[in-house]
Amino acid sequence: MAISLYFSTPPAPARKRDPDVDPLEIQKLKAAIEDKNKLKQKEDQGIKATPDKVKAAIKIQAWWRGTLVRRTLLHAAFRAWIIQSWWRQVLARLLYQRRRALLEFFAGQIWAVVRLQSWVRMWRVRLRYCRLLNAVRFIQLYWRWHNCHSRGFLQGSYELTTSKLNLELNIFLGSHICQIKDCIPFPIKH
């Protein structure tokens, strides 16, 4: 009875030839199937199969199932490896994009800080320059006023024509004013 359980399953349908399977393995399988069929016929006729043949058939079936399981696991592992590689690439790309966005953000912030600092420095330098300019103007004004009262200054105008030079000078010496008006003719050459 135990023998009939092992051989009661129908043979697997014919598959396309797999390049991973050796022709020698196919021959072994065909031989095992023939042995199985012969054992079934003998069983049907009432003749019992020998235990050595049964053990050999069981061993061949176990080997073939193991081969199929190993091949399936190998294909599944290979597909899992491909998916994992793709996922690692996706994660690396996302990490790179995140890092680049953060770098651009921080670079923009640093650029804005540098610009603000330059504006503040420019404003402080301009403020200092304006203070110095006002101080210079104040000193110049005082100095001019002082020179005007102590030394005096000149003010004048002139007019140049083709035949003469009209000159008018005003000299201020403290409270005294001296005016000079003169007309200088040019010598005419014939």
Q: What are the pLDDT digits (tens) for 130-181?
A: 888 888 888 888 877 766 666 666 788 878 777 787 888 887 776 677 788 8
Over its C-alpha atoms, the chain yields an Rg (Å, rounded) of 58
pLDDT band at 11 (very low <50, low <70, confident <90, very high): low
pTM score = 0.36
Neighbouring residues of 3: CB distance < 8 A, sequence distance ≥ 6? 39, 43, 49, 54
* Cα–Cα distance for residue pair 155/172, rounded to 1 Å: 8
Three-class DSSP category at 162 = coil
* Cα–Cα distance for residue pair 134/137, rounded to 1 Å: 5
* Cα–Cα distance for residue pair 131/69, rounded to 1 Å: 91
State the number of CA atoms in the 13 A half-sphere of 12 facing the CB: 9
